[in-house]
Amino acid sequence: APTFAQEYDGDRNSEGERHGRGRARLPNGDTYEGEYEHGFRSGQGIYRFKNGAYYTGEYLQNKKHGRGIFFYPDGSKYEGDWVNDQRHGYGVYTYANGDTYTGEWSNHNRHGQGTYVYKDTGSKYVGGWANGIQEGQAELIHLNHRFKGRFLKGNPVGHGKYIFDIGCEQHGEYIQSEQNKGEEEGEEEEEDEPSLLAEPKWKASEITKLTLWTPHGENPPSP
């Protein structure tokens, strides 16, 4: 047989298409074992890349689609929803350094509402994301205090407050500094974990007792 022919061992339909269960070795050395429909990987299957990565989950017409788990070469993994080969919907990403993101995805990026846990510090970001970056209303929860405010492009911005477990709050705002961080180029497949380094400077305005919650939301601190 010519060397470029794919090797296939499995069921076929009356038209000779791969249909049912089978296993295949692709020309690039990847392998697939699972379900086929009319010549396409469709249904449940396991796809192993020759770089050591593998995917186990649902397929639709050769694309990762439905629920599945992807194990990346760096030891990170994503478990959740896929649409048209992209992380899309709801899922959990465990990074190589032990950090985790649990929440919404769109077109392969963290997007929507999600929680990111930094394994080293135990700190937790709970809030909005846009195209992979921390953006929107959020809380950054540390060991004995937390910050509540708004984020833009991964940094806190504008008015917010620090809430301390000892029972007080510090109100203030973040002022943007002029310094620009260089854009980091990430691996094609693997997610970059966000950095905790924030450039903007915090300018405190006042310290108050803990503000009470009402059914309508939060009482502003009395001037």
Among 43, 74, 105, give the residue marking a domain's end: 74
21-39 tens-digit pLDDT:
999 999 999 999 999 999 9
Domain encompassing residue 128: 97-179+198-211
**117 shares a domain with 70:** no
**48 shares a domain with 5:** yes
Q: What does the pLDDT read at residue 121?
A: 95
**103 shares a domain with 68:** no
185 within domain boundaries = no
Residue 106 confidence class, pLDDT cut points 50, 70, 90: very high
**205 shares a domain with 127:** yes
Positions of E strands within the chain: 7-12, 18-25, 31-37, 40-48, 54-60, 63-71, 77-83, 86-94, 100-106, 109-117, 124-130, 133-141, 145-152, 155-164, 168-175, 201-209, 213-214, 217-218
Q: 202 is written with which tokens?
A: 């915090």
Q: What does the pLDDT read at residue 199?
A: 76
Q: What is the mean pLDDT of the chain?
A: 88
Query: 160-197 burial by CB neighbour count: b if 16+ within 10 A, else e?
Result: bbbbeeeeebbbbbbeeeeeeeeeeeeeeebbebbeee
- Spatial separation of the C-alpha atoms in residues 52 and 6, rounded to whole Å: 20
131: domain CATH number?
2.20.110.10
Q: What does the pLDDT read at residue 210?
A: 85
Which distant-in-sequence residues (6+ apart) come within 8 Å of 13 by Cβ? Answer: 19, 20, 38
220 within domain boundaries = no
119 within domain boundaries = yes
158 within domain boundaries = yes
**202 shares a domain with 134:** yes
Q: What does the pLDDT read at residue 215?
A: 56
* Residue 117 neighbours by CB distance under 10 Å: 18
**206 shares a domain with 163:** yes
CA distances 89 to 67, 86, 218, Å, are 10, 9, 31
**118 shares a domain with 67:** no
Does residue 223 or residue 107 have the better pLDDT?
A: 107
In the chain, the number of structural domains is 2
**108 shares a domain with 166:** yes
Contact 76, 92 (CB under 8 A): no
**120 shares a domain with 56:** no
- Spatial separation of the C-alpha atoms in residues 42 and 149, rounded to whole Å: 45
**40 shares a domain with 138:** no
**111 shares a domain with 204:** yes
62-96 tens-digit pLDDT:
999 999 999 999 999 999 999 999 999 999 999 99
